[in-house]
Amino acid sequence: MDIRVKKLHPAAKLPRYGSEYAAGADLYAAEGVLIPAGETAFVRTGIAVELPAGTVGLVYARSGLACKQDLAPANKVGVIDCDYRGEVMVALHNHGKAERRVEAGDRIAQLVVAPYLKADFEESEELSDTVRGAGGFGSTGRA
């Protein structure tokens, strides 16, 4: 699948896959930013994308950045709708006790492009029965 990418910043880099079978393409910071401990900063990627109709861009943490630098997307998973044409921004939260600096060119997140289904929601007085029923958090692991 081809995805058109527009550079909005001179230091912007196109997303790149780190290996042949990587599901997520790395997103890069277009500018440096200092993120104080316990705070969130918006990091510019300097790109806009044209996702194909029927797909969504899902922005996930990079495991190395999250585990080694305490930086991960503040909203856990970012959603880029296929009709959005603005700059892709990553809200990075610093979960650590020390400030962290992101430099231009650093890999800050990963983008997974996935198909989605559009649902029509309708109100109903009844729902079908299942074995689980209304069992909530942790209910399926009980013996």
The CATH fold assigned to 4-117 is Deoxyuridine 5'-Triphosphate Nucleotidohydrolase; Chain A (2.70.40)
Residues in the chain predicted with pLDDT less than 70, given as ranges, are 141-143
| CA distances in angstroms from 59 to 68, 92, 94, listed in the order given | 19, 11, 17
- Give the pLDDT confidence score for residue 27 in this predicted structure: 98
pLDDT digits (tens, 9 = 90+) for 92-112: 999 999 999 999 999 999 999
The whole model's pTM is what?
Answer: 0.89
DSSP state of 140: G
Whole-angstrom Cα distance, residue 8 to residue 135? 48
